Structure 1
Amino acid sequence: MTATVQPTLDGSVPEPRKTKTQQQADDYETWLEIVWPKFIAAAATGRTFTCYEITDLHQLPDPPNPQAHWGRLMTLLRDEGYVRTAGWAATSRPTANHSGVRTWRGTAAARRAAA
């Protein structure tokens, strides 16, 4: 089933609006350039966070393959020494039904890099 778009009074069809849930990057490298600085900044605070908290706070787009790329991002951040695992929490993502997710905390190296 497709949604129909109501034409305006002058007969033109408005551009469809992209909502936050519809935003998705076209390729992995472009998406990584957008989200990387936000996660580095979150790591520099030293507080514990989930991926969704940072994504929601900054209204970041989804990657081309959300099932694989979010985990890959966090693995890259961990391997680069910016974050470490901090435990588990119930997600605040509205569509995830409070599932358990990994929590992350920035490292001392992340705080030094931000200084």
Structure 2
Amino acid sequence: MTPIQPHLDGTIPTPTIPAARRKAEDYETWLEEAWPFYIAAAASGETYTIYEIAERHRISQPPDSHMWGRLATLLREAGYHRPVGWTTSPRPTSHHSGLRTWKGTAAARRAAA
């Protein structure tokens, strides 16, 4: 058990859960949270990974980890981004596994303008 340091007035602080550990209750709620960040990334014209955007904006975890891949597929099918290559994952638990890189489409950039 981790000890909790009380405030100077003796009250116990409200525990905070970092975004990396937050988990959405259901798929629709999670998708509603995550979607705008990926639309903005696609419109920016930068090359990115799904993980980079999630970390940058501290997006909560989906109910099932496989939903990250579904998000990438939905964005591609909707015409917002396209695959451009591969890189290795910076996530410590992935052991540098391959990770797809994405770039926003011209349509995504026009929609943002």
Q: Tell me if 1:100 matches 2:83.
A: no
Q: Amino acid of the residue matched to residue 81 of structure 1?
A: G
Stretch deviating more after TM superposition (4-13 or 18-27): 4-13
Provide Cα deviations, 1:48-98, integer angstroms capped at 9, x if missing partner: 1101110111111110101x1000001000000000011110112232221
Alignment partners' CA distance in 2, 1:5 and 1:52: 32
1:30 aligns with 2:10: no
**Counterpart for residue 58 of structure 1:** 57
Which residue in 1 is equivalent to 2:82? Answer: 84
CA distance in 2 between counterparts of 1:45 and 1:6 reads 42
Letter in 2 for 1:85: P
TM-score normalised by length of structure 1: 0.86
Give the total of aligned pairs: 112
Greater alpha carbon shift after TM alignment, 32-41 vs 11-20: 11-20
79-88 vs 13-22, which moves further:
13-22
Structure 2: distance between partners of 1:53 and 1:21 = 12
In 1: Cα distance, 2:34 partner to 2:107 partner: 19
Assess if the C-alpha contact under 8 Å between 1:5 and 1:13 holds in 2: no
Q: Which runs of 5+ in 1 are unaligned?
A: none
1:17 Cα offset (Å): 2.0
CA distance, structure 1, for counterparts of residue 103 and residue 78 of structure 2: 13
2:69 is matched with 71
| Cα deviation digits, residues 23-66 of structure 1 (max 9, x gap) | 11111101111110000000001111101110111111110101
Percent identical residues? 54
TM-score by length of 2: 0.88
